[in-house]
């Protein structure tokens, strides 16, 4: 699938590559310089449970319980494959973030559609041993590019806890602009947490990609 996507992309003009392929509804494997983003599978369960069972991660995202058990990891993989959760859709695409050189599992990311049909929300987390190495930015950028290139959407939203400086930095590096603040529920905290809301619209994304290609 990734070979097919790359071949199709290379056959299109630079302008065409920035337009959505409206017929695509799949979740292709994504390649970046150091990462492979692919669907989670059963072989990820042990690594997923090990990395996700960390309060420093769970308290920064909204839908991760703590403690996080092997059973939780197995349920996540099952739901990712089925495409549903108890809260509705698990997301248009859910990816395991893995290293390209050895296949090591680093974390997860995904996009989830909003009810308006014109917006998707970007989410991601990395295991603590893999922080501060640029992996989150690389994964978020690959997922953002895929969403705009293959979905007929107007914008992508992203949220981070107000105290999560590293996640804010990732979002800003990808070109997202601050929109406001709010509160969301947190499973790990057992209550509400304050978050910042960011947005990247298609026009800005096209400008950023065009500027990058001209350098």
Query: Distance between CA atoms of 25 and 27, rounded to whole angstroms?
Result: 7
Of the candidates 92, 97, 199, 208, the residue with the CA atom closest to the CA atom of residue 145: 208
**pLDDT tens digits, 18-29:** 555 554 557 899
**pLDDT tens digits, 134-161:** 999 999 999 999 999 999 999 999 999 9
Please list the residues that pair with 186 across neighbouring strands. Answer: 191
Query: Distance between CA atoms of 41 and 107, rounded to whole angstroms?
Result: 13
In CATH terms, the fold of domain 25-154 is Aminopeptidase (3.40.630)
Once rounded to an integer, what is the mean pLDDT over residues 42-61? 98
pLDDT interval class at 37 (50, 70, 90): very high
CB 204 within 8 A of CB 18: no
Q: Which helix (H) or strand (E) holds 211?
A: helix 202-214
Helix ranges, 44-197 (H):
45-52, 55-58, 70-82, 135-150, 165-173
pLDDT interval class at 94 (50, 70, 90): very high
On the question of pLDDT at 7 being above 80, the answer is no
On the question of pLDDT at 178 being above 80, the answer is yes
**pTM for this prediction:** 0.85
Helix (H, G, I), strand (E, B) or coil at 44: helix
On the question of pLDDT at 131 being above 90, the answer is yes
**Where in the chain are the domains?**
25-154
Of the candidates 148, 160, 38, 31, the residue with the CA atom closest to the CA atom of residue 93: 38
Q: What is the pLDDT of residue 85?
A: 45
% of the chain residues with pLDDT over 90 = 76
Q: Which helix (H) or strand (E) holds 191?
A: strand 191-201
């Amino acid at each position: 699938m990734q070979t097919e996507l790359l071949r199709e992309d290379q056959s299109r003009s630079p302008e065409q590559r920035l337009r959505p392929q409206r017929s695509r509804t799949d979740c292709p494997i994504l390649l970046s310089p150091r990462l492979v983003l692919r669907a989670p599978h059963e072989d990820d369960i042990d690594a997923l449970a090990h990395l996700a069972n960390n309060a420093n991660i769970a308290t920064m995202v909204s839908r991760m319980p703590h403690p996080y058990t092997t059973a939780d990891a197995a349920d996540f993989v099952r739901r990712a494959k089925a495409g549903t959760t108890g809260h509705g859709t698990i997301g248009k695409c859910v990816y395991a973030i893995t290293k390209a050189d050895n296949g090591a599992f680093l974390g997860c990311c995904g996009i989830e559609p909003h009810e308006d049909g014109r917006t998707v929300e970007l989410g991601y987390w990395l295991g603590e041993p893999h922080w501060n190495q640029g992996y989150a930015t690389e994964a978020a950028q690959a997922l953002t590019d895929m969403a705009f290139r293959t979905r007929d959407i107007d914008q992508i939203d992203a949220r981070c806890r107000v105290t999560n400086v590293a996640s804010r930095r990732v979002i800003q590096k990808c070109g997202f602009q601050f929109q406001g603040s709010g509160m969301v529920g947190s499973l790990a905290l057992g209550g509400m947490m304050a978050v910042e809301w960011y947005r990247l619209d298609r026009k800005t994304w096209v400008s950023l990609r065009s500027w990058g290609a001209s350098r």
